[in-house]
Amino acid sequence: MTTVLFVLGMSRTGTSALTRVLALSGAALPPGMIGAARGNPRGFWEPRQAHYLNEKILRRHRSAFLDPTLRLHEPADRRDIAEVNAYLTSLPPKDLYVIKDLQVTPIARMWFEAARTAGYDVGTLVAVRRPLEVIKSATAMAPAVTPDLAAALWLKYSLLAERYTRGLPREFVEFSCLLEDWRREVNRIATALDIDLNPDDTAINEFLAADECHQQVNGSACPEPFGTDWLTTTYDNLHRAAGGDTWSEDELDGVFCDYRASEQRLRTAVDNYRRVAKEQRFIPSKLILEIAALAHRRKGTWA
């Protein structure tokens, strides 16, 4: 039986580092990775075909990665599930896969159902990082993204990653904890998800460097650009979950409901998303990524 591990969460929360550590611990990566870039020089570890598929599905539903709204919080579409299923069943046979694409999170239920339909077991990992660090990192990497939009996206992706993985085998992993003691985190993941992981210590130590974690902040204060305690409440609960402490699904449900009912407060974030989406609509990422892959002769992280 093949097990597929899905790494979920917001961009800049350590999803790439976590995915690579799992790959160096025995989980197979799908073929055809998106290569490294200036914003992530050690690689994104995202399969290009999954990226294209997710982008197509989101556009079909009039959404995109930078969309801060919850418009896709609805039953999965059968056509979408069939396309994801076709992708998963096309992968070479392996006992354990790890799949990370930042666009998976808002449509994660489609991926989970498609994986089960394909006869795979599903395991999930929720990446956690302080929102202020993520906001600083996201805006530094993409200057067109404002702090308000980055905050809204952190909130959306964090809430959906937790919400959609309920009832599934899962573990929460805080980026700082992964950098501090990756062996402890890998052991926690293997135990929680009941999988065999065999880390390559040398390779992981060479890959993971604490100085690659930029935008670190001291203290636990969260920005609250929407006049609420949404970010503070969400991070506090996810932080406790990652540390094995008691946390509250009810509190996260409260934030989710308030967020969904109060999207008027997100006007500046939504306006920023629409402006960025308008600028990018004539530049298909598939063309850009395939040109880049060819330029790199499909070597290294572009393989």
What CATH number does the domain containing 227 carry?
3.40.50
Please determine, for residue 283, whether its predicted confidence score (pLDDT) is greater than 90: no
Please determine, for residue 104, whether its predicted confidence score (pLDDT) is greater than 50: yes
- Average confidence (pLDDT) over 27-46: 89
Mean of the per-residue pLDDT values of the chain = 88
199 domain-assigned: yes
37 domain-assigned: yes
76 domain-assigned: yes
- Give the range among 68-77, 138-147, 231-240, 267-276 with minimum mean pLDDT: 267-276
pTM, entire model: 0.85
Number of domains present in the structure of the chain? 1
d(CA 58, CA 65): 8
Those residues whose C-beta lies under 8 Å from the C-beta of residue 41, and which sit 6 or more positions away, are 212
The pLDDT value given to residue 26: 97
220 domain-assigned: yes
Closest CA to 163 of 27, 53, 72, 66: 72
Q: How many residues are given for the chain? A: 303
Please determine, for residue 303, whether its predicted confidence score (pLDDT) is greater than 90: no
302 domain-assigned: no
135 domain-assigned: yes
- The answer to whether residues 22 and 106 touch, using CB atoms and an 8 Å cutoff, is no
301 domain-assigned: no
d(CA 72, CA 63): 8
Q: What tens digit of pLDDT does each residue of 219-253 get?
A: 556 788 888 999 999 999 999 999 999 999 999 99
Those residues whose C-beta lies under 8 Å from the C-beta of residue 33, and which sit 6 or more positions away, are 43, 44, 45, 46, 47, 48, 301, 302, 303
Structure tokens at 122: 């599903």
Structure tokens at 276: 């960025």
Q: Quickly state the pLDDT bin for 278 (edges 50, 70, 90).
A: low
Domain span holding position 262: 3-296
303 domain-assigned: no
